[in-house]
Structure 1
Amino acid sequence: MAKKVILGMSGGVDSSVSAVILKDQGYDVTGIFMKNWDEKDDEGICTAKEDYDDVRKVADSIGIDYYTVNFEKQYWDQVFTYFLDEYKKGRTPNPDVMCNQEIKFKAFLDYALKLDADYIAMGHYARVEEKNNDFYLKRGVDNSKDQTYFLSRIGQKALSKTIFPIGDIEKSKVREIAKEHNLATALKKDSTGVCFIGERNFDKFLDKYLLSKKGDIIDIDSNKKIGTHNGIIHYTLGQRKGLGIGGVGNGKPWFVAGKNLKENIVYVAQGEEHEALFTKSMIGENPFWILEKEPIFPLKCTAKFRYRQSDIPVSVYKLDNGNLKVEYDFKVKAVTPGQVAVFYDEEYCLGSCIIKDLEPLNDKYRYLNM
């Protein structure tokens, strides 16, 4: 009897091709569209409806069952509330990581297991490898599309029950398979932006849920006001665009170097190599390890502090309070509190922590993130 797989289908080409591959491999596949968010975009279009229509077209064309499951309450409680709370603290959260941890590989997994599924499947560019009853998370073969950064807080239960059908093929091959099978999503562009916000105006979205007030933009070198910001929640470390202070100073671009939530100040530095933009180490909270057991400290490995960043050699130490201190082998720009630091050993993702505090290159800039 064929193994039963419940596949998360988003209406995109990756999950569509995952359905084709699983069916070709002989699995009994059911596609489920997760309804996590119900709101129209800036053009008044409900993208969830459009995406579900694509799921229906693909499922009908390849002959698998499909339906919708509503996870809006779980999403609000476990992901969106966290997202808002982080912004209220002046941090920049990564809800996609939390969505995977709490919804796709927890709520969705539990739902699938109640349906007696043998496995769940997702259209992520990642791989699972079993060794001695431990389940390891490996980077996808297509390094430019690897999504282990977003999966870095997925544990053993989920990995033991998860299949990533496209993890060992290139994106170009995914498109080829979609075209060969005349899938409705073959030419659909990849989604971008935060998982539930999509491609709408991000600042307008934040203003709808959080109170923001204007404040001063301060040049860290002169300590003088050079502009006005639209609310501290709209700015993140290393940000260059949208500051509204072009033409001031020596002509070099300005970057966000720090934020003071209490005083409602955004600090900026001029020039992309300004030392205030760089740190030499960070403190991480809420560490999570894929194998659900701690490594031996100090841990020599590599880390990413944001998606698409090149791996950076680091040394990781465990502090007495359970937090991690991560020292970089060389200075790193725009490491951001609230984001996720993800650890790797070559192609294996080891786990992650949430960035809490930063150690600047120069102690005189320690005030920048208060």
Structure 2
Amino acid sequence: MTTITERSDSFSPPSEVLAAIEASTRLARPSSSQVPSRSASVMVALSGGVDSALALLLLVKAGVPVQAMFMKNWEEDDTSGHCTAAEDLADARKVCDRLQVPLHTVNCADIYWDRVFTPFLRDIEAGHTPNPDVLCNREVKFSAFADHAERLGADLIATGHYARIERSPKGIRLLKGRDTNKDQSYFLHALDQKRLARSIFPLGDLQKTQVRSWAKSAELAPFAKRDSTGICFVGERRFTPFLERFLPWDPGPIESVDGERLGQHRGLAFFTLGQRKGLNVGGRSGDSGEPWYVAAKDHARNALILVQGGDHRALFRSVVTLRKMHWIAGVEPPLPLRCHAKIRYRQEDQACEALANPMTGKIELHFDTPQRAVTSGQYAVLYRQDECLGGAAIEDAR
């Protein structure tokens, strides 16, 4: 792998930032290396967005041996017009041309379909609301992508995630990003020690405003590009019409929590707990004028249960049961454990106690404050201050 020389342009990040990034690559260098003091060679997962572009720039400026690779995870259809892979690849090329960094491409669409999208559909059909971004990180970005990078000679991979890694003889800790509004440790909680050991996050100590400002100063093509939203295989398109391409309708009754018939749904798979829009039940008898919300799914009767008002007691649960807990440290800490948890991305940390149910052996989270719209299939992620301890998919709640 070739060391990329720094370009003589006007942008110069603070020296302490570059020193920290260069030091992180030395600390992460594989133990088998005969030259442990040298920076590890890094492959940057370049998405075409501003975050990964600046991550690449910072590594270049720090003098780290670096290359970039663009990963395609979804085969766009000919008529949708929603997949931006071609545009993203063009932006990635512009960034690499400007920084004089080699760009590789890899098609992971088959792996994504088998390891992420197929389980996603299976969970949806079972009545859950999965988060495929967690699986994408574990199975594709930090597994298949990392393996391909290693075959190309890279010691480590770098991404534009807002998270931090702390290395010590006791193991690797995953920490929240300094920017609390952009922290993405939630999506990385399923990574293990091996995957984290070969990863670095150059943006972990930065604020998003800094990232955009520095990218603009460096004249990187994506500096003003809007952040991607939603899950990658849906993009900007409407979720339900997209899902209907893969799942059949299974109509059933819509009922109030008191048993009043309100209408008919097209399939429980197309709704999630706490959902307000797209219910088409406004103006029904007994209507208080407040919005309707999905409170439950009765799979035995294929019935969608609604309540009126966002603070209805039927929307809240205090105890959450997890499917199979993943601890980042690789071992379960002593239980019960006082900690905080998020049951969805961007939620404020919620105080709780994690303990093992003596009857089932499964981990339960007992929250200090009842949680609204706890959704099976979503992930509950545990924290102790800034450290992400791990997490698991939600099985049920009471």
Question: Which bracket does the TM-score occupy, shorter chain normalised?
Answer: over 0.9
Which of residues 340, 350, 366 in structure 2 aligns to 1:312? 350
Q: Give the residue type in structure 2 aligned to 1:102.
A: E
Q: Which residue in 1 is equivalent to 2:314? A: 276
Q: Give the residue type in structure 2 aligned to 1:244.
A: N
Q: Which residue in 1 is equivalent to 2:18? A: none
- Give yes or no for the alignment of 1:85 onto 2:122: yes
Which of residues 307, 321, 325 in structure 2 aligns to 1:287? 325
Which of residues 259, 265, 270 in structure 2 aligns to 1:229? 265
Q: Give the residue type in structure 2 aligned to 1:125.
A: Y
Rate the CA distance shift 1:333–1:42 in 2: closer, same or farther, 3 A: farther
1:8-28 per-residue CA deviation (whole Å, 9 max, x = no partner) reads 111110001111011111112
- Aligned-partner SS, 1:198: coil
Q: CA deviation at 1:233?
A: 1.1
Q: Which residue in 1 is equivalent to 2:281? A: 245
Higher strand share: 1
**Cα distance in 1 between the residues matched to 2:77 and 2:88:** 13
CA contact (8 A) 1:136 1:290 kept: yes
Q: Give the residue type in structure 2 aligned to 1:327.
A: H
**Cα distance in 2 between the residues matched to 1:74 and 1:110:** 13
- Give yes or no for the alignment of 1:354 onto 2:393: yes
1:123-169 per-residue CA deviation (whole Å, 9 max, x = no partner) reads 00000001224100000000000000100101101111111011110
Q: Which residue in 2 is equivalent to 1:367? A: none
CA contact (8 A) 1:87 1:233 kept: yes
Q: Give the residue type in structure 1 aligned to 2:337.
A: L
Which of residues 204, 215, 238 in structure 2 aligns to 1:167? 204
How many residues get paired?
358
Task: Point out the structure with max Rg over C-alpha.
Answer: 2
- Aligned-partner SS, 2:223: coil
- Give yes or no for the alignment of 1:152 onto 2:225: no
Q: What is the TM-score of this pair, normalised by structure 2? A: 0.87
**Cα distance in 2 between the residues matched to 1:120 and 1:350:** 22
1:240-269 per-residue CA deviation (whole Å, 9 max, x = no partner) reads 111112233100111100012232211001
Worse-matched range after superposition: 38-47 or 198-207: 38-47
Which of residues 237, 244, 256 in structure 2 aligns to 1:207? 244
- Give yes or no for the alignment of 1:257 onto 2:257: no
**Cα distance in 2 between the residues matched to 1:192 and 1:340:** 18
Q: Give the residue type in structure 1 aligned to 2:113.
A: W
Instruction: Point out where structure 1 has 5 or more consecutive residues left out of the alignment.
Output: 360-370
1:172-192 per-residue CA deviation (whole Å, 9 max, x = no partner) reads 000011101111101100000
Q: Give the residue type in structure 1 aligned to 2:88.
A: D
Q: CA deviation at 1:111?
A: 1.8
Taking every aligned residue pair, what percent have the same amino acid on both sides?
Answer: 45
Q: What is the TM-score of this pair, normalised by structure 1? A: 0.94
Worse-matched range after superposition: 340-349 or 102-111: 102-111
CA contact (8 A) 2:83 2:235 kept: no
Q: Give the residue type in structure 1 aligned to 2:181.
A: S
Q: Give 1:193-204 correspondences, 5 Å limit.
A: 193-204=230-241
- Aligned-partner SS, 1:185: helix
CA contact (8 A) 2:67 2:103 kept: yes
Q: CA deviation at 1:197?
A: 1.5
Q: Give 1:1-370 correspondences, 5 Å limit.
A: 3-40=40-77, 43-221=80-258, 223-248=259-284, 249-319=287-357, 321-359=360-398
Q: CA deviation at 1:94?
A: 0.4
Worse-matched range after superposition: 211-220 or 150-159: 211-220
